[in-house]
Structure 1
Amino acid sequence: MTKTVPLSRNRNYTILWTSQALAEVGFSATSFAFPLLALVITGSPAVAGAIMAVESLAQVLVGLPAGALVDRWDRRRVMVWCEAAQVLSLGSLVAALVWDAVTVPHMIVVAAVMGVCRALFEPAEDATLPNLVPESQLATAVGLNAARTALGDAGGKAIGGVLYGVSRTLPFLLDMITHLVGFVALLFLRVPRREPVERADPPHLGREIGEGLRWVWQRKEIRVTTLCAAVLNMFFAGFYLVVLVLAEGKGVPAGEMGFMAAMLGVGGVAGSLLAPWLCEKLSPYLSIVGVFWGVSLLTPLTLLFDNGYLIGVLFGLMALLAPTANTTITTHQLLVTPDELRGRLGSVLTLVVGAAFGLGSLLGGQLSSALPPAEAVLACTAGIALVTLLVTLNPTLRHYPR
């Protein structure tokens, strides 16, 4: 009987996890500094916002084709070239900052490169993961990847704020260096060779995208969990914006509002570390439904507090169980999806959930404008409660496979 090697001694997984932990820190530092730089360069909040929207727009537009290409190409090479492209684009921005020659078109190009690279890298990494770790450790690996993202986001933004206060160039220099480290590290990554898929017809991008969409739609449990997650994310994104407006109206200091935002990351990190253990103890149904009930019960409590620290604790509790549901769902999806479709699976899920966040932000803005803050919070809470009821009664989720 072959003894399973712990993930900490899995050479390839360690290379991937460590390199991307650093890259997440750099990316988050840039995410913090880029809007501030855009505002300084343009002097217009509207133009700065448009520049920042380019990255998300590029990721959405390229998402579905990127997933199909990831399934067609060598995934390790996709990740390596994405790191190289980000090093070059960030290096050009660092050079322009040093020479005081930054322009709006240059920033747009850098934002677009970052969006395209994330659209390619994320499904490539997700699709590669089951080939690096055994099935028995996949849930743990998924949970650790989620913790990596949450830690990188919280730490990177904090570091980015400090570095930007010293020099506008430093956050982008840090991002360039971390991606350079990631590029070098991934050169040593060894991924098992994929068996070529025989096709009767020549490659066709549109047909391959359609195959990915049909796979997600035909697998009932994937379709249901994707739609439920999208709706919950939409209402929660709107709720988060409305709570910020409510807190500002109550005179909550900026420092306390920063703590509120940070606690979402803290809850995500703690939940990611607990996720593999909870996935073993809870049924998939309870793992998924528990998130919806937790958020439903906690969201109206934000109306009771004028203290940003207490609201932050609620935010942390709301984020605590989400990684368990994500780990349960993601592990199952990766195991049941054929290797040749995993890139397209990741791109479809990213597109749907990303679009839901965008719609949620628009919803929160509209509710904040049309209703008093307290009523807007209750409207979002009602939406979340309705989704929770539907999820609880859904027969597909009740019989979700372990």
Structure 2
Amino acid sequence: MTVVPLRRNRNYTLLWTGQAVSEVGFSTTMIAFPLLVLAITGSPAASGLVLGVDAAAQLVAGLPAGALVDRWDRKRIMLWCEAAMALAVGSLALALWWGSASLTHMVAVAAVLGVCRALFEPAEDACLPRLVPDEQLATAISLNAARSSVGQMAGTALGGVLFAVGRVVPFVVDTITHLISLVSLAFLRIPPRQVDRAPIGDIGKEMVEGLRWVWSHRHVRVTALCAVSLNFFFNAFYIVIIVLADSKGVPAGQIGLMAAMLGVGGVLGSLIAPTLHRVLHPWVSIMAVFWMVTVLTPLTLIAHNGYLLGALFAGMSFLAPTANTTINTHQLLLTPDELRGRLSGVMNVFVGSAAAAGPAVGGLLVEFVNGTVAVLWCTAGMAAISLLVTVSPVLRRFPRHAPVSV
């Protein structure tokens, strides 16, 4: 049987294109949000509060969102999420136009965006194996990762420019992008599935069932721990290296370029991830990113400008999409369809918590030791994790092709 290329897969193309547009708009809002709060309130603390509410809402809603995705119609969840985000951001645009925007309103919008993202991401992840053949799932996951990286880079750059044009402009653009995605999703055809009609009071039991599945299945558990540890380390190291670069007198513009190169490495890595996923054993693809980061981390000590640091960051992020593709593909294929929403919800909470804790730990580290010592501590920690990944019997015996759960 001939497999249709993904570019000719109508449903996957609709989902990918709609979300590519939506993610550009969302990233535009996320860079404009703190600028707006700062301009209106003059308070950096209030500016951080808005972004903090968005992140907190995602974490708090993560586990119940995964359970709801498994019991509700997933296409409707995505439609309602896009509609809710369009209404929330649109209401803020109107308030700015009328000159009545308040901090309370902005916090409420951030909370809505966080909850909607907590629901949308598991719904999309759970739908993916039903939209593409198993042999194309890794390619679809890597293309989604590239979409997110490009959307984040484009939206971040666009947000600052549009905010300079007018405070309301980024939020108008974001509203339009969510509406475009909403229309795209309306034409999406997802194969029907049995929807659970259990009482809503059972959701706590279903959340526990999702946690139990992740922890009891050794392949899922070990790959989850790999994803969590990598995200925790890298987010901690990111803060350390910014402080180190600043102490070396690296100009702010070069530090910004360094951060951009992180995204460039991720995009390039996403494009080659399907090929590496096919030719490398899962253990090798996961182990490689850990050792790549371990080797490149101490080299930041001898990089004295943002260009070299950016090149190192691009190298660190280049193999990450391959590891993520391997982990996500195997987890989705190993997990029964009725548990895929909860799998994604649990992973989002675990990885999101690690991403939030990493900068805090990195900040504390550079508070008590100088930048050079902090980098060496990061190197030692990453080397220890890399050794554990290397000797892990579960990863070494990881099946090249995951058995499909039905």
- TM interval, shorter chain, is over 0.9
Equivalent residue number for residue 367 of structure 1: 365
Equivalent residue runs for 1:24-103 within 5 Å: 24-103=23-102
SS in 2 for 1:204: helix
Among all aligned residue pairs of Structure 1 and Structure 2, give the percentage whose two residues are the same amino acid: 60
Tell me which amino acid in the other structure corresponds to 1:268: G
Equivalent residue number for residue 262 of structure 2: 264
TM-score (normalised: structure 2): 0.97
Is residue 227–residue 324 contact of structure 2 (8 Å, CA) maintained in 1?
A: no
Tell me which amino acid in the other structure corresponds to 2:162: L
Is residue 259–residue 308 contact of structure 1 (8 Å, CA) maintained in 2?
A: yes
Structure 2 Cα separation of the partners of residues 174 and 64 of structure 1: 31
Structure 2 Cα separation of the partners of residues 67 and 259 of structure 1: 36
Structure 1 Cα separation of the partners of residues 57 and 392 of structure 2: 35
Instruction: For residues 162-193 of structure 1, give each alpha carbon's deviation from its aligned partner in whole angstroms, at most 9, with x where no partner exists.
Output: 11111111111111110000011111101000
Structure 2 Cα separation of the partners of residues 120 and 257 of structure 1: 34
Q: Please, which runs of 5 or more residues in structure 1 have no aligned partner?
A: none
Structure 2 Cα separation of the partners of residues 138 and 304 of structure 1: 40
Structure 2 Cα separation of the partners of residues 25 and 170 of structure 1: 14
Tell me which amino acid in the other structure corresponds to 2:289: V
Structure 1 Cα separation of the partners of residues 28 and 243 of structure 2: 25
Equivalent residue runs for 1:3-402 within 5 Å: 3-196=2-195, 204-402=202-400
Structure 1 Cα separation of the partners of residues 355 and 6 of structure 2: 32
Is residue 144–residue 273 contact of structure 1 (8 Å, CA) maintained in 2?
A: yes
Is residue 239–residue 381 contact of structure 1 (8 Å, CA) maintained in 2?
A: no
The offset of 1:376, in angstroms, is: 1.0
TM-score (normalised: structure 1): 0.98
The offset of 1:90, in angstroms, is: 0.6
Q: CA RMSD in A?
A: 1.2
Structure 1 Cα separation of the partners of residues 293 and 44 of structure 2: 33
The offset of 1:203, in angstroms, is: 6.2
Instruction: For residues 4-60 of structure 1, give each alpha carbon's deviation from its aligned partner in whole angstroms, at most 9, with x where no partner exists.
Output: 111001000000000000011001111111111111222111122122100010111
Structure 2 Cα separation of the partners of residues 195 and 96 of structure 1: 42
The offset of 1:225, in angstroms, is: 1.4
Tell me which amino acid in the other structure corresponds to 1:253: P
Structure 2 Cα separation of the partners of residues 40 and 378 of structure 1: 39
Structure 1 Cα separation of the partners of residues 160 and 195 of structure 2: 46
Is residue 71–residue 195 contact of structure 2 (8 Å, CA) maintained in 1?
A: no
The offset of 1:228, in angstroms, is: 2.1
Is residue 71–residue 197 contact of structure 2 (8 Å, CA) maintained in 1?
A: no
Q: Please, which runs of 5 or more residues in structure 2 have no aligned partner?
A: 401-406
SS in 2 for 1:189: coil
Instruction: For residues 237-266 of structure 1, give each alpha carbon's deviation from its aligned partner in whole angstroms, at most 9, with x where no partner exists.
Output: 111101001111111111111110001110
Structure 2 Cα separation of the partners of residues 52 and 84 of structure 1: 21
SS in 2 for 1:239: helix
Structure 2 Cα separation of the partners of residues 394 and 152 of structure 1: 35
Instruction: For residues 208-229 of structure 1, give each alpha carbon's deviation from its aligned partner in whole angstroms, at most 9, with x where no partner exists.
Output: 1011011101110111111122
Structure 1 Cα separation of the partners of residues 137 and 270 of structure 2: 13
The offset of 1:232, in angstroms, is: 2.0
Tell me which amino acid in the other structure corresponds to 1:91: G
Tell me which amino acid in the other structure corresponds to 2:310: G
Question: Greater shift after overlay, 379-388 or 64-73?
Answer: 379-388
Tell me which amino acid in the other structure corresponds to 1:359: A
Structure 2 Cα separation of the partners of residues 368 and 74 of structure 1: 47
Aligned residues: 400
Question: Greater shift after overlay, 43-52 or 284-293?
Answer: 43-52
Q: List 4+ stretches of structure 1 deviating above 2 A.
A: 195-199
The offset of 1:136, in angstroms, is: 1.0
The offset of 1:197, in angstroms, is: 5.8
